[in-house]
Amino acid sequence: MAAKVAVVTGASAGVGRETARLLAERGYDVALLARGEEGLRAAAREVEGRGQRALVAPTDVADAGAVEAAAAATEAELGPIDVWVNNAMVSVLAEVRDLEPEELHRVTDVTYHGAVHGTLSALRRMVPRDHGTIVQVGSALAYRAIPLQAPYCAAKHALRGFTDSLRCELRARGSRVRLTHVHLPAVNTPQFGWVRTRLGRHPMPVPPIYTPRVAAGAVVWSAEHGGRRELFVGWSALLTVAANKLAPGLLDWHLARTGFDSQQTDEPLDRDRPDNLFEPVPGDAGADGRFTDRARSRTWQPPYAGRRALAAGVAGAAAAAAVALARR
């Protein structure tokens, strides 16, 4: 029996790297797309070490032609694509007034347009076959923006709108191509070691922090249970979305008070550190970042959030959180 085939963007590090490992464990051959060739080669060794084939495809997903070429190479080398995971991202941590136009364009081109390019390449192959699953890796920040991450939040909001439109179109055509969106909490990835920033201290994910394996587990589960419209991973993602619906003004106030310090450690920033906005940082960073001692290795979901029985509890918890915020 032929192996299933998956494409993962942003596969050289972080959630994408762990997703490729888990897909290989589930019997998928994996095409690995990213800019960093050392990380891609290491990821390929991990896939092959799990008994599956790997295709290394150095690709900047902001380039639609490069993404399409990688899709064609995947099908020529590995076979028809069953799953496409859009995970690649970059960001800039800074106040809006300090951002440069080219930085805004770059974050949008990778984080939003990169996912659009991947989706279009997947659709060109999946729609004629009437088979396949596209997984958009989103974030709680696709529903609730926070300070210092305006370009990234905007890109994730845009991807959610694009995905909702596409979902309606596929349904109208009776297509069996499946489309799902996985919204992640804060994850301990190398992103915080190489993100471009104008903060005074070292960047960090907003606690609670989860391991990349938790996030990747949700992505792979979603790929194999593509009927789920959206998945929210971890209480923090669910509560963020619910609280924003119930009391967005209170959340504005709370984030204005806490959103700056919660994204920085006490460690002064090394101003000479390289960032990966326009070029990949050399080396193999692996899947995990520097906050392993603070990262949670499991979530409460059975197996993942989204069921009606959980929704009522989340709404109640969010209401309690809103009351608590109001009293602070």
| Contact call for residues 251 and 325 (beta carbons, < 8 A) | yes
| Contact call for residues 86 and 36 (beta carbons, < 8 A) | no
Is 152 considered catalytic here? yes
Distance CA 100, CA 264 (A): 21
- Residue 263 DSSP code: G
* CATH T-level assignment (fold) for domain 4-327: Rossmann fold (3.40.50)
The pLDDT of residue 1: 66
Q: How confident is the model at residue 312 (pLDDT cuts 50, 70, 90)?
A: very low
The pLDDT of residue 306: 52
Percent of the chain whose predicted confidence (pLDDT) is above 90? 83
Q: pLDDT, tens digit, for every residue of 5-58?
A: 999 999 999 999 999 999 999 999 999 999 999 999 999 999 999 999 999 999
Q: Taking each helix axis as running N to C, give the angle between helix 308-327 and helix 248-258, from 0 to 180 degrees, rounded to the nearest 10.
A: 60
The strand ranges marked E within the chain are 4-9, 28-34, 54-58, 83-86, 92-93, 133-139, 178-184, 186-187, 196-197, 201-203, 209-210, 230-232, 264-268, 295-296
Least confident of 62-71, 76-85, 138-147, 233-242: 233-242
Average pLDDT over residues 308-319: 47
Q: Which of 112, 143, 152, 210 is catalytic?
A: 152
| Contact call for residues 15 and 216 (beta carbons, < 8 A) | yes
Indicate if the pLDDT at residue 85 is higher than 90. Answer: yes
The pLDDT of residue 86: 98
Percent of the chain whose predicted confidence (pLDDT) is above 70? 91
The pLDDT of residue 313: 45
| Contact call for residues 191 and 169 (beta carbons, < 8 A) | no
The pLDDT of residue 254: 95
Residue with tokens 């504005």: 252
| Contact call for residues 26 and 224 (beta carbons, < 8 A) | yes
Q: How confident is the model at residue 235 (pLDDT cuts 50, 70, 90)?
A: confident
Q: pLDDT, tens digit, for every residue of 263-300?
A: 999 999 998 999 999 999 999 999 999 998 888 877 66
Q: pLDDT, tens digit, for every residue of 180-203?
A: 999 999 999 999 999 999 999 999
Distance CA 209, CA 290 (A): 11
Q: Output b/e per residue, 162-189; b: 16+ Cβ within 10 A.
A: bbeebbeebeeeebebbbbbbbbbbbbb
Average pLDDT over residues 135-162: 97
Distance CA 235, CA 314 (A): 8
Q: Taking each helix axis as running N to C, give the angle between helix 64-77 and helix 114-129, from 0 to 180 degrees, rounded to the nearest 10.
A: 40
Residue with tokens 């000479």: 272
| Contact call for residues 46 and 32 (beta carbons, < 8 A) | no
Model confidence, pTM:
0.92
Q: How confident is the model at residue 325 (pLDDT cuts 50, 70, 90)?
A: very low
Indicate if the pLDDT at residue 320 is higher than 90. Answer: no
**Residue 177: what are its φ and ψ, rounded to 5°?**
-70, 130
Total Cβ atoms within 10 A of residue 206: 18
Indicate if the pLDDT at residue 94 is higher than 60. Answer: yes
The pLDDT of residue 327: 44
The pLDDT of residue 302: 52
